[in-house]
């Protein structure tokens, strides 16, 4: 059975960066784990966004931006303070955070524009990482780990695993697959 055999049905991947080449083989079960990571993060973000968008009181980021980041020795304290005291940025964050979480979650759950959703999810997690700065137990925390999960979801093209990205990529425009006609869509889909 292919799911029990490391070599049967395995996928080889390779990357070169800075003169260093890394090669790996993924077990055939890896697709299920990548799918579960996509769905887990999709649900978490959809739920978080839903709670903020449909809360009785509107979402307001200013208190967090001004007070939370400054209370914990954050190396980006000045930037967070500027964001929290700049009216147009607070207004932007008050829309971008709840709706961003909602749409990132939705995109991941249905598997549409997964690389784009995962990129913005990783960006949000990087901001949460610095906003929630705490290194008493080391520099790696949940926000940092979730950022890496988003990057893994994007890198493995998780939208192609039981997701709409496969259908979108194969949609034909003038007799040619969309992804072949517009290859840069690979940065958004997958």
| Span 120-129, pLDDT tens digits | 999 999 999 9
Lowest-confidence range among 19-28, 38-47, 109-118, 160-169? 19-28
Residue 128: which domain range?
A: 2-187
pLDDT at 61 over 60: yes
Overall pTM > 0.95: no
The pLDDT-based confidence of 10 (bands split at 50, 70, 90) is: low
Q: What mean pLDDT do residues 73-84 have?
A: 87
- Contact 138/116 with Cβ under 8 angstroms? no
Q: What mean pLDDT do residues 90-99 have?
A: 96
- At residue 50, the pLDDT reads 97
The count of domains in the chain is 1
Report the length, in residues, of the chain.
Answer: 190
Residue 71: C-alpha distances to residues 2, 64, 89, 131 (Å): 52, 10, 20, 10
Question: Residue 19: phi, psi to the nearest 5?
Answer: 80, 0
Closest CA to 111 of 51, 173, 37: 37
Name the percent of the chain lying above pLDDT 70.
93
The pLDDT-based confidence of 118 (bands split at 50, 70, 90) is: very high
In this structure, are strands 11-17 and 20-26 parallel, antiparallel, or unpaired?
Answer: antiparallel
Q: If you average pLDDT over every residue of the chain, what do you get?
A: 88
Q: What mean pLDDT do residues 101-124 have?
A: 97
């Amino acid at each position: 059975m292919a799911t029990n055999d490391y070599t049967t049905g395995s996928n080889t991947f390779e990357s070169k960066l800075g003169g260093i080449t890394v090669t790996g083989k993924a077990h055939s079960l890896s697709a299920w784990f990548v799918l579960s990571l996509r769905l887990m993060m999709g649900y978490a973000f959809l739920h978080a966004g839903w709670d903020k968008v449909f809360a009785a009181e509107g979402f307001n980021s200013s208190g967090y931006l001004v007070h939370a980041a400054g209370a914990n020795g954050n190396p980006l304290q000045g930037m967070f303070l500027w964001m929290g005291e700049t009216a147009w940025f607070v207004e932007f964050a008050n829309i971008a955070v709840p709706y961003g979480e909602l749409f990132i979650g939705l995109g991941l759950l249905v598997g549409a524009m997964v690389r784009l959703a995962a990129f913005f999810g990783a960006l949000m997690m990087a901001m949460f990482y610095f906003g929630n700065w705490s290194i008493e137990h080391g520099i790696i925390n949940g926000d940092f780990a979730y950022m890496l999960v988003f990057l893994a979801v994007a890198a493995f093209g998780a939208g192609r695993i039981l997701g709409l990205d496969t259908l979108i990529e194969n949609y034909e425009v003038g007799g040619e697959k969309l992804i072949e006609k517009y290859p840069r869509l690979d940065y958004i889909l997958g």
